[in-house]
Amino acid sequence: MSTANASPATSPRTPAPRIEERETSLHGHRVSYSIAGEGPVVGLIHGITETADVWRDVIPRLARHYTVVAGDLLGHGRSAKPRGDYSLGAYASGMRDLFGSLGFERGTVVGRSLGGGIAMQFAYQFPEYTERMVLVSSGGLGREVHPLLRAATLPGSELVLPMIAPSWAVRVGESTGRGLSRVGLHVHSDIAEMARGYASLNDAEARDAFRHTLRAVIDPGGQRISALDRLYLADEMPVLLLWGSDDPIIPARHGRRAHELIRHSRLVEFEGSGHWPQLDHPDRFADTLIDFIETTEPYEFELGRMQQQLRTGPGPRSQSP
């Protein structure tokens, strides 16, 4: 394990490529996404109640080196919110379809929180599309999760969701953070981003999509989906785990456990950061990700290797502590 302290890979004077906001239609549903830069593909997957905007501070830096694609998941942001399948598998397929529609055969997949679970599912379903996997404050690696998310899965919770974080809470959270930063105190992004996410649930369609998505991965007891028994399949894939040491949503020990289970993985913890390290420390976050991509070789899928892994199985390392 290490703390994030990478040297800048590009001078801050280098102009950032223009970020284009686009829309496409996949299976008849609108999908909104941002794209910028040139070179190897990096796909960014946001978490629940979020949008591609959660990557706003790191896309410009990454786009100096790579083609960066960040979509709004179905049920989120400007993308459609249909009645349908909001499982991890469906989201992973949607990411594959977005890649395919843009003519991209493969790339590095970066997912945070719920998006981390989607990234793992993507690598599991479509290893031939996956060059590297980056998990940021990821779900799917342990049972614990913030009590507010567990409570939101209870019967009747949809009736009170619009009142959890109205728009005024977002404004207060943002202004409080700015005020404290002016007097030299660091306030990480957890309060403002949680308020922003829950405020988006004032929209009935978004609320319905949120409920289906959340209940697919969480129940009142905590996270109900675990990838721990299948992480051995990523032993030969470059894997980076990025976490805030003070994450109140998904504990940093989940990342440490995954690091133990994935043989050649890297773990970087951002000291004093919470659930949104890419917002708390955007330059260090981007530098760490760039360094990881530049110092690892893209994964090459081999059916024979997977066959041997599946026959051998995970072994004792995958057992829960």
- Which residues are identified as catalytic? 113, 247, 275
Are the C-beta atoms of residues 189 and 81 closer than 8 Å to each other? no
Distance CA 321, CA 315 (A): 14
Long-range contacts of 83-89 (CB under 8 A, 24+ apart): 83/208, 86/209, 86/212, 86/213, 86/216, 87/216, 88/117, 88/118, 88/121, 88/140, 88/216, 88/217, 88/225, 89/121, 89/125
Burial of 161 (0-12, 13-18, 19+ CB in 10 A): middle
Is residue 134 helix, strand or coil? strand
DSSP state string for 38-90: -SSEEEEE--TT--GGGGTTTHHHHTTTSEEEEEPPTTSTTS---SS--SHHH
Distances (CA, A) of 264 to 95, 141, 239, 300, 304: 25, 17, 7, 15, 20
Query: Of 64, 68, 66, 56, which Cα lies nearest the Cα of 14?
Result: 64
